[in-house]
Amino acid sequence: MSACAGVAIDADKNKANGDVSMNSKNNIRNSCDTGETPPRRSFLKTIAMGATLAGAMLMGAGQAQAATTWKIQSTWDAGTVGYTLFEEWCKSIEAKSGGELKFQCFPAKAVAADNNALFDAVRNGVLQGMNPFTLYWAGKIPASVFLSSYPAGPDQPHQWDTMFYSMGMLEKTREIYKKFGLFYVGPIQHDANIIHSKQPVNSLDDLKGMKIRVPGGMVAEVFQQFGVSTVSLPGSDIFPALEKGTIDAADFVGPAVNYELGFSQVTDYIIFGPPGVMSIYQPVDLMDLTVSLRAWNSISPELQQLVEDEVRIYSQKHYLAIQARNIEAMEKFKADGDTVTRLSQEDLETWRKAAIPIWFNWANKNDDARAILDIQLKYMMNDTVGYITEEDIKGF
């Protein structure tokens, strides 16, 4: 078949599709009628243009498929149930976003060596996000002591979700974090923190004279009101300190992770609050997802909404998965000979009275801390909660 015949056939096909104008058809026909062959240079030029267009189309398709990758470090150690859950969730984001966003996750210390380095790594763009325990930033953001549970504060997970999502606390938190170049996506429900002890504690009076590892800040200050000598240790140092007897008791997180860390081997007692309250000092220890403001602003509103929704979904899954593991862990503690002791409701009320002045000391560090506590006081004083009264905070 001649080149001219091939072009004529293509033209007829295009005509059937309505793609060729009358002038184009006549030009093709005239060329065939004269028996002239299209010039080689013109033919090569046509091929080159086609190749260029095809390449541009391929480049466009590649760019559309390329995912924005966020590197996110958790404060969970590799191998723990917390990190396994976080890793699974991160892997799901690429598919849920249709390939537009990818979370590359890292365990504790993988990129940033400690908490201060983690905070700075997200601000400086070394990481795009972090999954920390919110309380870690008390020294940098005083309001953060009220963004996770604190001594005798709201002690049920749904209360925290109510304050964040129904009472304006999420919006206020984002205003505060924005000052640091960060975007607080949302809280992630975790668990209560509990204390493992070498000796039984059946009342607050039993705490006097004990040396206990607890978080610093507000938590340590309240324990000190009851004659406790407090010490702050990283998680990896707790087991050897208990084993050597340099401390009498230690808190960390909840039963599931604490069992994985071997606490049953070096303690005999687990201290809970009244029935229904695992902990009177950190009953709802929240984590969160925080990303750099620059990274957040670089994605579309649709992706932003997806990430916000996913954090809320993951918060529930994370919490429920850990609660299931806690139930299993408590059976293991019991099998190992550990005994649960409980503080009374009266102990909790005494603890709250000691804590309230310390709440206000922290709230008065700056306007942001005060604004967050104001939201929580309004809630705790409402009759649906009823934890405190006007009389309880009179004079503060």
pLDDT digits (tens, 9 = 90+) for 185-217: 999 999 999 999 999 999 999 999 999 999 888
Q: How far apart are CA 78 and CA 71, in angstroms?
A: 16
Stretch 173-184: mean pLDDT: 98
Number of H helices, E strands in the chain: 14, 11
Please list, in sequence order, all residues whose beta carbon lies within 8 angstroms of the beta carbon of residue 390, skipping any fewer than 6 positions away: 381
For residue 4, which phi and psi values (nearest 5 degrees)? -65, -40
Annotated binding site: 193, 213, 251-252, 282
Q: How far apart are CA 296 and CA 182, in angstroms?
A: 9
Q: How far apart are CA 211 and CA 68, in angstroms?
A: 48
Stretch 375-383: mean pLDDT: 97
Stretch 275-296: mean pLDDT: 96
Look at residue 215 in the predicted model and tell me its pLDDT.
86
First-to-final CA distance of the chain? 98
Annotated binding site for Na(+): 252
Look at residue 35 in the predicted model and tell me its pLDDT.
42
Question: pLDDT per residue over 42-54, tens digit each?
Answer: 444 444 444 444 4
Question: pLDDT per residue over 355-375, tens digit each?
Answer: 999 999 999 999 999 999 999
Contact between 358 and 218 (Cβ < 8 Å): yes
Look at residue 25 in the predicted model and tell me its pLDDT.
36
Question: pLDDT per residue over 122-152, tens digit each?
Answer: 999 999 999 999 999 988 999 999 999 999 9
**pLDDT for 63 beyond 80:** no
Name the one residue in this structure whose structure tokens are 């909790």: 348
**pLDDT for 274 beyond 80:** yes
Q: In the predicted model, what is the mean pLDDT of the chain?
A: 87
Please classify residue 5 by burial: count the beta carbons closer than 10 Å to its beta carbon, then call 0-12 exposed, 13-18 middle and 19+ buried.
Answer: exposed
Stretch 316-335: mean pLDDT: 97
Name the one residue in this structure whose structure tokens are 């309004």: 378
Q: How far apart are CA 9 and CA 12, in angstroms?
A: 5
Stretch 231-238: mean pLDDT: 88
**pLDDT for 18 beyond 90:** no
Name the one residue in this structure whose structure tokens are 């005999």: 268
* Domains identified in the chain and CATH numbers: 68-190+286-326 (3.40.190.170), 194-283+339-366 (3.40.190.10)
Name the one residue in this structure whose structure tokens are 């723990």: 80
Contact between 258 and 196 (Cβ < 8 Å): yes
**pLDDT for 101 beyond 50:** yes
Answer with the residue of higher pLDDT: 115 or 35.
Answer: 115
Region of residue 181 (phi > 0: left; psi between -120 and 50: alpha; otherwise: beta): left
Q: How far apart are CA 363 and CA 370, in angstroms?
A: 4
Task: Name the band, by pLDDT with cuts 50, 70 and 90, for residue 168.
Answer: very high
**What are the DSSP calls for 290-352, one per residue?**
EEEHHHHHTS-HHHHHHHHHHHHHHHHHHHHHHHHHHHHHHHHHHHTT-EEEE--HHHHHHHH
**What are the DSSP calls for 104-159, one per residue?**
EEE-TTSSSSSHHHHHHHHHHTSSSEEE-BGGGGTTT-GGGGGSS--TTS--SHHH
Look at residue 291 in the predicted model and tell me its pLDDT.
98
Look at residue 45 in the predicted model and tell me its pLDDT.
45
Task: Name the band, by pLDDT with cuts 50, 70 and 90, for residue 65.
Answer: low
Task: Name the band, by pLDDT with cuts 50, 70 and 90, for residue 236.
Answer: confident
pLDDT above 70 as % of the chain: 84
Annotated binding site for substrate: 193, 213, 251, 282
Look at residue 67 in the predicted model and tell me its pLDDT.
87
Please classify residue 263 by burial: count the beta carbons closer than 10 Å to its beta carbon, then call 0-12 exposed, 13-18 middle and 19+ buried.
Answer: buried
